[in-house]
């Protein structure tokens, strides 16, 4: 078998775009996705693997032979229902995914974080994202790549009225966010984030790297 990639969080906004991007790349022979239910789409390269998220440790075999993992897991406190449930998705599931990947020899690990991620800030969301970044850095991947987008643009499967309103506003004001001071907060299409992740993931770059919002606007330019 040739190169294999695995996507976790493949039903989310970025995860769907990452999966589509990977399926279109000739370098890959197989794209595995960990999902709770079978996706609506089929593809010769696509291999869905049904999982119970609270029992991720049972699915180590899914990571066998995988070159790169794309971790696109994420939720909101409103959807999760509490900070505790939010942490289960955004921390526990992400770290368990990374540990399984490391145990099975995965070389490249990509994860979606957030602009402003910092384990020392007061904001719960950004502090949590910063904590995850720190813990991922301690696992010891050959290549760890953290992507910090600002507000994501794209069609979500669920309705988020606040994000929808913010997307419309920031899209109309995009010209104002192109300067150096506001560029880190410029809204970005999920497809650009996905293209950036795949462009990096298909390489064999060593080390720990952080990709800012501004960088992803360049790396994913061909996604427009």
User: Residues with catalytic annotation?
Assistant: 125, 129
Contact 113, 197 (CB under 8 A): no
d(CA 70, CA 54): 19
Angle, CA of 100, 102 and 103, to the nearest 5°: 65
- Return the C-alpha torsion angle 150, 183, 163, 121, nearest 10: 50
d(CA 201, CA 195): 10
Contact 143, 107 (CB under 8 A): yes
Q: Nearest to residue 125, comparing CAs of 151, 157, 155, 99?
A: 151
Contact 130, 118 (CB under 8 A): yes
d(CA 59, CA 52): 9
Q: In this structure, what DSSP letter does residue 12 have?
A: S
d(CA 1, CA 31): 12
Q: 4 has which bridge partners?
A: 30
């Amino acid at each position: 078998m040739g190169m294999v990639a695995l996507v976790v969080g493949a039903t989310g906004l970025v995860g769907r775009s990452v999966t589509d991007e990977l399926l279109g790349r000739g370098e890959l022979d197989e794209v595995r996705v960990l999902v709770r239910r079978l996706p609506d789409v089929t593809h010769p390269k696509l291999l869905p693997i049904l999982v119970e998220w609270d029992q991720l440790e049972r699915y180590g075999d899914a990571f066998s032979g995988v070159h790169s993992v794309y971790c696109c897991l994420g939720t909101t406190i409103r959807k999760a229902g509490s900070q505790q449930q939010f942490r289960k998705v955004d921390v526990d599931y992400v770290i368990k995914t990374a540990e399984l990947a490391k145990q099975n020899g995965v070389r490249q690990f990509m994860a979606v974080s957030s602009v402003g991620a910092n384990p020392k800030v007061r904001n719960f969301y950004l502090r949590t994202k910063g904590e995850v970044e720190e813990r991922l850095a301690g696992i010891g991947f050959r290549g760890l790549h953290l992507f910090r987008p600002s507000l994501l643009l794209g069609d979500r499967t669920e309705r988020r009225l606040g994000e929808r309103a913010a997307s419309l506003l920031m899209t109309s004001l995009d010209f104002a966010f192109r300067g150096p001071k506001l560029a880190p907060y410029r809204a970005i299409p999920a497809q650009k984030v996905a293209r950036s992740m795949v462009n990096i993931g298909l390489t064999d770059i060593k080390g720990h790297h952080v990709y800012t919002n501004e960088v992803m606007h360049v790396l994913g330019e061909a996604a427009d």
